[in-house]
Amino acid sequence: MCGIVGYIGGQQATPIILDGLRKLEYRGYDSAGIATLNGGESGIRRSEGKLVNLDNLLRDHPLAGSIGIGHTRWATHGRPSEINAHPHKAGPVILVHNGIIENYLQLKEQLKQAGHTFKSETDTEVIAHLVEEKLTSEVDFEKAVRLALSELRGAYAVCILNEQEPGTLIAAKLGSPMVVGLGQGEFLVASDIPAILAHTREMVFMEDGEMVVFRNGEAAFSTIAGERLDKNRVISTGRR
């Protein structure tokens, strides 16, 4: 069990994500991390241990940018450490993940044979490399994510950034919880309602096999296979 938070809007992402992670720390105490995009430049901060360690790191090495993702980890694949902490990065792709990928060893071996080099022991890093592998001059970010997710077996809730598309945030889920918050000119995504209640009570609850692309001030919901969806918005009282 881990906690994820994503933000895209007009405010600085780091304090919003960090506040959301505090509400999700019950989901993981082993490590925590945040990544932001500021134009085409990414920044990642990760720390082993409780969230306070990441908070201290960010005070000394702050991150700017109005789009970002964060994670608090309960270790499954890979011991608790900074190198195994999320977010994970492969080329321009940056990702956080809650869940367990059952076929990650098979995928990892295929990606190694294709020339990918791995730094961590996690199943999550495989997803980042898989999305990177799918990115080509003919396959854009959104399509690459759909193709990569279609090869995963197991459970996941993911938030994904791409340095080459600094105005886009993609999130998807299968078997792990995810809720989307709809604010004024901003969007949030998280593993649980309390992480986003400070910013909005208008929410969309994601179902298994669904994806959302945040871009140009809009949220486009679809199935992972690409079928567009009209999702119901609800006003949350704090509990689903």
Assessment of whether the complete model's pTM goes beyond 0.85: yes
Mean pLDDT of 35-61: 91
- pLDDT greater than 90 at residue 82: no
Both tokens of residue 57?
């790191």
Categorize the per-residue pLDDT at 236 as very low, low, confident or very high, splitting at 50, 70 and 90.
confident
Of the candidates 75, 61, 60, the one whose C-alpha atom is nearest the C-alpha of residue 29 is 75
Least confident among 28-32, 54-58, 170-174: 28-32
Residue 73: predicted pLDDT = 62
Using only C-alpha atoms, what is the Rg of the chain?
A: 16
At residue 78, does pLDDT exceed 60? Answer: no
pLDDT of residue 239: 53
From residue 38, alpha-carbon distances to 19, 43, 140, 185 in Å are 20, 8, 20, 18
162 residue type, one letter: N
DSSP state of 195: G
Q: For residue 167, what pLDDT band results from cuts at 50, 70 and 90?
A: very high
